[in-house]
Chains A and B, each alone.
Chain A
């Protein structure tokens, strides 16, 4: 019984079957290929767009505050 358990255990430890063939990368079906370039470009573009958008929001908020300051200065009579 113990021998059988050990045999089953050893069977479980067997390495997976070896690779039976090598497939060149350019022969992989299109569905299995994942080109890196679009992902790389998307990552770089996202950083640029996010930073530009944030800069734009600061600029827009600053313009609004400056306009409010000007409006308030016009309303306040000079001393």
Chain B
């Protein structure tokens, strides 16, 4: 992955330059018009968040039950990236809603659970930052609960009555809209993977620094 990182970063950058052109050429949705084009960034942001949450959840479980330090590094990276993309989803959504629904926010089930999911991963990072000794294990348990919540957030629009479009919208997209959407989603998923990789590299260097400090103190 180390060797592939730079070329992949270039590929992702190119994809993010190309994506707006594809999105601009996609047809307008019949009821919402231009504002619906936020969809091509809004939904892929959530996809990227779900990928990062998956990494965080699995790595947290491994860390909690096996105590592997590298798993903890992956969990932290996943949580940070999940918070970044969650924030993107939570900002782009109300910008879309203000024009399409006439309001910035509705306390409906999808919006509320999505906000709670974001807050769970913010809590994960805060526990790690301010929790003191043993906070890593407490944070890992929080991440497992957060990961278990994610499928409910995704399916909430199909289970409960909500103003938010349901999950059936994506598989029924016409090719003229589905193509740009798939391209944009791939770009976001790749970007999410690269950000997790970069953050894991940082965590590994931090671990090395901590080990060296300990060795240095033992010597002196």
Report chain B residues within 8 Å CB of A69: 205, 208-209, 212
Contact (Cβ within 8 A) A36 B33? yes
A62, B205: Cβ atoms under 8 Å? Answer: yes
Interface string of B20-54 (1 = CB under 8 A from A): 10000000000001110110011001000000000
B35 near A47 with CB under 8 A, answer no
For A50, what are the chain B residues with a Cβ–Cβ distance below 8 Å?
A: 84, 87-88, 91
Most buried by B among A47, A48, A72: A47
The answer to whether A40 touches B205, judged by C-beta atoms less than 8 angstroms apart, is no
Q: A34 contacts B88, CB within 8 Å?
A: no
Minimum Cβ distance to chain B for residue A75 (Å): 7
* Mask: chain B, 75-86; 1 = CB below 8 Å from A; 0 = not: 000001100100
The yes or no answer to A10 lying at the interface (CB within 8 A) is no
Could you say which of A39, A58, A61 contacts B35, with CB atoms under 8 Å apart?
A: A39
B198 x A55 contact (CB < 8 A): yes
Is A42 on the interface with B (CB-CB < 8 A)?
yes
Q: From residue 175 to 209 of chain B, which have CB atoms closer than 8 A to chain A?
A: 191, 195, 198-199, 201-202, 205-206, 208-209
- Closest residue of chain B to A76, judged by CB? B216
Nearest residue (CB) in A for B12 is: A51
CB of A40 within 8 A of CB of B35, answer yes
What chain B residues lie within 8 Å of A48 (beta carbons)?
16
B98 near A34: Cβ-Cβ < 8 Å: yes
Q: How far is the CB of A44 from chain B (nearest CB, A)?
A: 6
Query: Interface code A43-79, partner B: CB below 8 Å = 1, 0 otherwise?
Result: 1101110110011001001100110110011011000
Task: Judge if B5 is at the interface, Cβ distance under 8 Å.
Answer: no
State in angstroms the CA–CA spacing of A72 and B206 once bound together.
Answer: 13
Q: Does A28 contact B (CB under 8 A)?
A: no
When the two chains form their complex, are residues A58 and B98 in contact, meaning their CB atoms are under 8 A apart? no
Chain B residue numbers with a CB within 8 Å of A39 are 35, 38, 95-96, 98-99
Chain B residues within an 8 Å CB radius of A55:
195, 198
In A21-42, which residues have CB < 8 Å from any B CB?
34, 36-37, 39-40, 42
* A-to-B contact residues, CB < 8 Å: 34, 36-37, 39-40, 42-44, 46-48, 50-51, 54-55, 58, 61-62, 65-66, 68-69, 72-73, 75-76
Q: Which residues of B contact A (CB under 8 A)?
A: 16, 20, 33-35, 37-38, 41-42, 45, 80-81, 84, 87-88, 91-92, 95-96, 98-99, 191, 195, 198-199, 201-202, 205-206, 208-209, 212-213, 216, 219
Ranked nearest first, the 3 interchain pairs of A and B with the lowest CB-CB distance are A36-B35, A36-B34, A43-B92
Given contacts A50-B88, A54-B81, A65-B205, 10 further A-B contacts (CB under 8 A): A36-B34, A36-B35, A40-B37, A51-B84, A58-B199, A61-B202, A62-B205, A65-B206, A65-B209, A75-B216
Q: Jot down 25 A-B pairs with beta carbons below 8 A, ordered by A.
A: A34-B99, A36-B99, A39-B35, A39-B38, A39-B96, A40-B34, A40-B35, A43-B38, A43-B95, A43-B96, A46-B92, A47-B88, A50-B87, A50-B91, A51-B191, A54-B80, A54-B195, A58-B195, A58-B199, A58-B202, A65-B206, A69-B209, A69-B212, A72-B213, A75-B216
